[in-house]
Amino acid sequence: MSAPLRIALAQLNFLVGDVQGNAGRVIAAAQRASSEHRADLVLFPELTLSGYPPEDLLFHRGFRRQIEAGLQRVRTEVANVPVVLGFPEYAQGGIYNSAALLERGEISAIHRKSELPNYKVFDEKRYFEAGTQPTVSRCGEVRTGLLVCEDIWEPQAAQLSRASGAQLLLVINASPYEIHKQREREAVARARVQDVGIPLVYVNLLGGQDELVFDGNSFVMDATGEVVMRAPAFQEGIYVAEFVRDGAGGVRPVPGAVAPELSDEASVYGALVLGVRDYVRKHGFPGVVMGLSGGVDSALTLAIAVDALGAEHVQAVMMPSRYTSQMSLDDARLQAEALKVRYSVLSIENMFETTLATLKGEFAGRPADATEENIQSRCRMLLLMGLSNKTGRMLLTTGNKSEMAVGYATLYGDMAGGFAPIKDCSKLLVYRLAHYRNSLGAVIPQRVIERAPSAELRPDQKDSDSLPPYEVLDAILEAFIEEDLSVDEIEARGFDRATVARVLDMVKRNEYKRRQAPPGVRVSRRAFGRDWRYPITSGYRR
């Protein structure tokens, strides 16, 4: 090559179903990549036109017409620079998850994804047919092999591209975030390039879509498996990689900026912020409202909401009862003032008293139990949902994964809401994230992090009254939920068998609650939601 080949990686945020809006974003980004970055080729993520995952929208005939019109619009309006664009391809044999190379208004090549993931959050075999052929085309003097996401998780597609003459692999992706996912992606890519001996360009989607967050982290890898360019996580942008001839007639990437790998806490927090921001904004809500109890879960949720949306779009409400401590009142007020959100104090005492009086005859002769505790939680829900309805702001719930797992939450009470930011964060992770957020600027009172957790629904209540210590509970839950281990296998790790059996029974018994919970950001290897499909009615006993 007489001059370096410049490939732009368009790490952008698209909206599922907004085909014309997505086409407009492609056109604007392609023009910018050409005029500002002098790109010779622009890569867009997997299923750019439809957004990912489009799910059953793919079956709607009107959606098909919009996809075809959107593709035609891009072909017409992007003629000055070639682009690789992900889209659902409707063909006689079915629907394909495809990548199209568009040049001078024409489709010069199409690659149909050959490896269709059907595990965890993926169910692509429900929608797509698998391609069977490699796709090698030219970008200037370089022969490029087109691949789509899962194609690099197995060796065959890359091998077929190399055998067909590819000198560079171009991979478009919609790979969702989970903790340590970037390490896994790069390990897989490293195995592929070392197998076929050619470099690789990996562009990934950005943005929140329901439970999923796409973190970007697009990268370029040379033929030895070294990452020579990496885009920042959770940041939209157009990132340019250059390639030159090597001494053997192939191509090699010119080293560029390599964004550092984030810590576990920084990456999870970034995913939570992006997930909340996109869920609220893509749904068109003017902001959020949430309960602020003085505990660590609501404190972390408030910090996430403010970082995602800005303080002016967040309202926090303290709803004390007879069991609310002065410490909780003080700490909630301090945090609201530190974050400069709108803050209200609305007592539930009169509502609680009235409800108990109304039910007095029905409850006669029965001792007080969790029923009275749940009534308090449901009184708070009435106030929060009233504010949500009146203001149009979405209600955020504040429950964590440990609570959701064992049912330590009130159906139609603190579980009510539109979105659950920390739903996939264990209690111990919540504490780690609270410490991390305070390292950026102290907004959560230290006493909130240090005090023993309590629902404050009865005198001197502590979580430890009802649950094993979180150090034990979270380890058992991770082994069961994320690793599918049995009681015997978890016991073999040193846990008390009776405790393990009790925890697993609570998880199974409370499936009916989780089915009615709002969605939340997925950050672990297995979250309650898309990749957790246990039956509600079941006779299985360990």
Length of the chain in terms of residues written: 542
User: What was the pLDDT predicted at 1?
Assistant: 56
In this structure, are residues 308 and 277 in contact, taking their beta carbons and an 8 Å threshold? yes
The answer to whether residues 220 and 302 belong to one domain is: no
Range of the domain at 158: 5-261
In three-state secondary structure terms, 99 is: strand
Name the pTM for this structure.
0.94
User: What was the pLDDT predicted at 185?
Assistant: 97
Angstrom distance (rounded) from CA 46 to CA 54: 11
User: What was the pLDDT predicted at 542?
Assistant: 65
Q: What is the CATH number of the domain that holds 254?
A: 3.60.110.10
The answer to whether residues 52 and 142 belong to one domain is: yes
The answer to whether residues 27 and 69 belong to one domain is: yes
Residue after which a domain boundary falls, among 261, 295, 319: 261
User: What was the pLDDT predicted at 2?
Assistant: 67
Residue after which a domain boundary falls, among 261, 289, 308: 261
534: in domain: no
Cα of first residue to Cα of last residue in the chain, in angstroms, is 64
Residue after which a domain boundary falls, among 261, 280, 296: 261
User: What was the pLDDT predicted at 177?
Assistant: 97
User: What was the pLDDT predicted at 464?
Assistant: 75
Angstrom distance (rounded) from CA 393 to CA 378: 19
Q: Where are the alpha helices (DSSP H) in 416-538?
A: 427-440, 446-450, 470-481, 487-491, 497-509, 511-514
The answer to whether residues 254 and 276 belong to one domain is: no
- Over the chain (542 residues), what is each successive 10-residue block's mean pLDDT? 87 97 97 94 98 95 95 93 97 94 94 95 94 92 95 96 96 97 97 96 97 98 97 97 85 95 97 98 97 95 98 97 90 95 96 95 93 93 97 97 94 94 97 97 93 75 82 95 94 95 93 94 94 87 69
Q: How many domains does the chain have?
A: 2
User: What was the pLDDT predicted at 392?
Assistant: 97
- Which residues are marked as active site? 46, 113, 149
